[in-house]
Chains A and B, each alone.
Chain A
Amino acid sequence: MQSWKYTEDYHMNNFDYFKPKGIEAARELIVSIPNAAFVAGGTNLIDLWKYNLTNPSALIDLNHTGNNITVQEIDSGVRLSAFATNASTAYHPLIENRYPLLAKAILAGASGQIRNMATNGGNLLQRTRCYYFYDPDSPCNKRNPGSGCPAIDGYNRMHAILGTSKHCIAVFPSDMCVALAALDARVNIAGQKSSRCVPFTDFHRLPEDTPELDNTLGHGEIITSIDLPHKGFASNYSYLKIRDRNSYAFALVSVATGLELEGSIIKDARIALGGVAHKPWRIREAEDFLREKQATEKTFESAAAIILSGAQGFKFNKFKIELAKRAIVRNAAMALNPSIQKPGAQPS
C-alpha cells in the first residue's frame, strides 16, 4: 500500500492578523508574539508563505502605520516613505524630475500590478530568487543553515560572480536597490531603543558564513524611510537591465550609472551593478578612477575592469563577467545621451 503522510512541514500554516495603528504598536507586537512577521505589499512574503518557505504565527500589517507621504523634501534632499508603493514613488514628479535613475530602475522591476502593491521597505527586504532556495525539498544554507549549497555545483545561471562564499552564491534580485546604492541613499530604521540611519551600501551584506542573513536589519526593527541626498544625476543617467526576456523577468546583470560632466570631462561618476552579488555592487575605486577623465569608451572599459576584478564565474554563469563589463560600457553611452533609453531598461 502506498500512503502519503502529511507532516506539519507540508501544511500551509494558519496565522493571526493584526493591523496596528502606529510604528510603536507594530514593534510592540512583533517582539511580544513569537515568530510573527511584518507584511506590507505582501508580494514577497505571501509568495514565500504559499511555498511553505516561511510560516509566521501572525502577520502584522504595516500599511497605514507610518508616515505615508510618498515623497517629501527634507533639508538634506528627499525622503521616500518605506510604506509607499514602488509605483507611486517612481511616478512622483520629484523622483521623475530629480532622480530619474531611481524611477527607471523601479520601473524595470516586476510588473505594473506588482509595483502598485510592492512597498519601498519591502523592496529592500525581498529575498533571493535562487531556485534551490525556493524548493523546500532541496538543501540550502540560506533557508536551512548548514544543509549545504547545491547551487555551487548545480545550475547557477542566475547566480553571483562577485562577493560569493563557499556557503552561498545567491544574488539579491532588486532593481530599485541598485539605483539607491548608486545614489548614496540612506535607510532610516526604527529600533527597540533608538532609531538609526544606515548608508545604503552597508544595509545589505555578503553571504560569508551566515548566508541566512540577507541584511543588517535586526528583529523587530522597522524601515521607516529612505533618504536621497540632493545630487540626483538627472542630466546624465541610465539604468540598463539585461534579462532572458525583455520585460517582467529578473536581471541577469543590471547597471545603474550616474555621471556629472563638464564638457566631455567626467567630474563625478556612480556605477552600481545588480544581478551579480548578494548586494548591489559598487566599487568606489572605479569611480575615483573615472574622475577628471575623458568620457570615452576606453575610459569606461578600464572602469569596468576595476569593477569586475576578482569576479569568479561558476559552470553556468561565467558569461556574466563579460556581460557585466559590456553592460557598464553600453550603459555609460546611454547615460551620455539619456534620450535614447528604451522602456523597460532594455539596451539601446
Chain B
Amino acid sequence: MPRIQLNVNKRMYELEISPWVSLLDALRDRLNLTGTKKGCDHGQCGACTILCDGKRILSCMTLAIMKNGAEVVTIEGVSEGQKLHPLQQAFIDHDAFQCGYCTPGQICSAIGMLAEGKAKTREEVKDLMSGNLCRCGANIGIIDAIMEIHGGLSHE
C-alpha cells in the first residue's frame, strides 16, 4: 500500500493509505481529527474546508495521496493551546452557529478568505464565503463575526 506523509496541525504523520481515500476521510477516520465535517462529500457545502499549504480547499474533493508532503491545518489546529483563534471567539460573540456542523468549515474558510486579502466590503465577504452553506441559517452572525475580525485586521 502507498505510504504518504502529511503534516497536520504542525505534527508529522506517516500513513499507509489506499489511493482512493479522500483527504477528508484520512483526517477523520485515520487521524481521528473529526472536527472537519462531511456534509455532502461532493464539493457543494464547504463543511470539509481545511487549509492546505495555507490555502482553503475542500478536503472531500481531493485524495490524501494527492496531498503527500502537504501542510494541513484543520479546525483542531487553529487555536494556540487554550487561546482561541480570534475568529473562534468572534463566532461565539456573534452567535454565529446553532448546531455547529458547518462551523469548522466556516472558520477555516474565513481564515483562508482573509489571508487571500481580496474582500474589502461586506458584500464581497458574503460572495467569497458563499462556498460555505449553513442549514441553521446563522449566516448573518457568521458574516458579522468575520466582519469584526476583517475590520480588526485592516486597522492593524
Contact = CB atoms under 8 A, between A and B. Distances in A.
Interface in B122-149: 123-124, 126-132
B63 A17 contact: yes
Nearest to B19: A17
Contact of B127 (A41, A43, A247): A247
A51 B42 CA distance: 9
* Most chain A CB neighbours (cut-off 10 Å) among B46, B61, B129: B61
Nearest to B54: A116
Given A39-B66, A248-B130, A114 B61 contact: yes
B20 A14 contact: yes
A57 to B, nearest CB: 11
A310 to B, nearest CB: 34
Contact of A50 (B42, B131, B132): B42
Interface stretch (B26-34, B85-93, B110-118): B110-118
A51 B43 CA distance: 12
B42 to A, nearest CB: 5
A111 B57 contact: no
A116 B63 contact: no
Interface residues of A, number: 31
B71 to A, nearest CB: 14
A50 B55 CA distance: 24
Interface in A107-138: 110-114, 116-117
Contacts of B42: 47, 50-51
Given A91-B118, A342-B123, A111 B61 contact: no
A42 B46 contact: no
A117 B123 contact: no
A59 interface: yes
Interface string A26-62: 0000000000000101110011001100000001010
A112 B18 contact: no
Q: Point out which of A43, A51, A112, A116 has the most chain B C-beta atoms below 10 A from its C-beta.
A: A112
A134 to B, nearest CB: 10
Given A117-B57, A248-B130, A46 B65 contact: no
A22 interface: no
A17 B63 CA distance: 10
A246 B124 CA distance: 12
B103 interface: no
Contacts of A17: 2, 19, 63, 65-66
A339 B43 CA distance: 32
Contact of A46 (B57, B62, B116, B128): B62
A87 B58 CA distance: 14
Contacts of B19: 14-17, 59
Contacts of A117: 57-58, 61-62
Nearest to B49: A113
Contacts of A12: 20
A343 interface: yes
Contact of B63 (A46, A51, A113): A46
Contacts of B131: 110-114, 248
Contacts of B43: 43, 47, 114
Given A116-B112, A248-B131, 13 more contacts: A14-B19, A17-B19, A43-B61, A110-B131, A112-B112, A112-B113, A112-B128, A112-B129, A113-B109, A114-B131, A116-B56, A117-B57, A117-B58
Interface of B: 2, 18-20, 22, 41-43, 46, 49, 55-58, 61-63, 65-66, 109, 112-113, 116, 118, 121, 123-124, 126-132
24 contacts: A14-B19, A15-B19, A15-B20, A17-B63, A41-B62, A43-B58, A46-B22, A50-B42, A51-B42, A59-B19, A87-B116, A111-B131, A112-B56, A112-B113, A112-B116, A113-B56, A113-B58, A114-B58, A117-B62, A246-B130, A248-B131, A343-B121, A343-B126, A344-B130
